[in-house]
Amino acid sequence: MLTHNIWAADGRVMITLFGWLNAIGGAVRLVAPAYVMEAGRAMLKRPYFIQAAATIWVVAGLLFCLFGFRH
């Protein structure tokens, strides 16, 4: 994250955002693990959550591939 802290208006900002979100998510898991487990169970009870989450991950992966191999 320290070596790729780029806030440009192109595909590189996705890598920076992904790194920051992972750092924040890890800190939340360390500070409040019970809350994370409770929130995770609540999300899994919602209909179509897994399909929506999978769609978001596939789109993010395709965008990473597009920006990574475009040059």
17-52: per-residue pLDDT in tens? 888 999 999 999 999 999 999 999 999 999 999 999
**What does the block give as tokens for 47?**
């209909």
Helix (H, G, I), strand (E, B) or coil at 6: coil
Q: What's the CA dihedral at 1, 18, 67, 71 to 10 degrees?
A: 0
pLDDT at 2: 58
68 contact partners, CB below 8 Å, separation of at least 6: 11
pLDDT at 3: 66
Q: What is the pLDDT of residues 8-22, one digit of tens each?
A: 777 778 888 888 999
pLDDT of 4 above 80:
no
pLDDT at 31: 97
